[in-house]
Structure 1
Amino acid sequence: MTTPDAGALFDGLAPGYDGDHFHESVAEALVRGLPATVSPRLVLDVATGTGAAAFAALRHLDARRLVGVDISPAMIERARGRAAVQDADGRIDWQVGQAVPAPMADDAVDIVLCASSLHFLGRAALHDWLRVLRQGGRVAFTLPPAETFRPSGAFAKLVATDLPLPQDNGQAAALATAAGFEQANATRLDITGERPRSVFLVHASAPSRTA
């Protein structure tokens, strides 16, 4: 499936995306799971959608600058609309583009966020995040449990084949460790309601680079 086709699929989700509070709940829990950081200079939200994780980082981390990138122009348009209220001083830079490689220089980012999208991006995203993160920078991402994830239709074709979905916390954390991250840990988040769903929240650190 080509990039324009994938973008069009997610464009179709954009009008009702914010009506599903699952995404907001996941983004909030993902950001709250990060250690207290005093005003990170730059936060990258990969596959930002309508900006849930970026806005959570703005609230809880007091980030000085954020970049939210997504393949879907319609998602970014909705994020910019939300930003009129949630980012009045314009700290978030919204960009339409591919997630991998991220539109960032090497060693430039303090925190990388990726909520509800790594299963579409695959292992290349993990390695690219190591590229953009500064020494000791943090990554926070989610993955759905293998036993409950059942994508349908065209979206099933987008799921990465090189990144096995985890069955437990240990497997989720191990994916970060295998990619080269350190101090990886994972917890399972279960969202109840009319449509119960679960995700693993994974947090890890980029290693210090030695000469």
Structure 2
Amino acid sequence: MSEGLAAPRRRGRPARAAAGGEPAARDRILAAARSEFAERGYDKASIRGIAKGAGVDPALVHHYFGTKDQVFAAAIERAFEPALRAPDMLLAGPHEEQGERLARFFLGIWENPTHREPLLAIVRSAVGNEAAAAVFRDLVSSRLVARVAAQLGVPDPRLRAELAAAQLVGIALLRYVIKMRPLADADPEHVIALVAPGVQRLLTGPDPLDAPAA
């Protein structure tokens, strides 16, 4: 073979020069993916755009994450990671204060600007696209709701956990995404004080249908 000809590149993993270093390139891809989904939405976001934002070849994005659905799943899991610690909060104090702890923990994540922007990207994408909604639903169902339900010693634990999640996610949607007032401007402590008793009843309260007839 002539010395002036380079050996043909094998298919599969991108060349090391294209990779840009590990794990830095992978982290850059996830950060670029979050920005791409936040700015363009799920439908308009593209592997090419994510690669451009990360300064890597699109082949590297496919190598690490596969399809756009899989990139989105990895990006939102990283962004949603703080919220996935919520089940641990249930065991971090008295049983009768679980509602307050969960509400305070959840709203505290949204009040933190560092966490809020990635979460906004997730919610906006999930609301506007069924594929994105399915990815988000699977993450919340398996990594959050199922773990919370496993710690509830009450009937219908899964339903109760989902209802509590619905209440807190609904508050986040109105307060931080839609910015409905006065909720958007209310003091977080006031919101927690009002919502915590309802979350507590959902998690630990008796089933009203089991109450004896008057």
- Which structure shows the higher helix fraction? 2
Q: TM-score, normalised by structure 2?
A: 0.25
- Which structure shows the higher strand fraction? 1
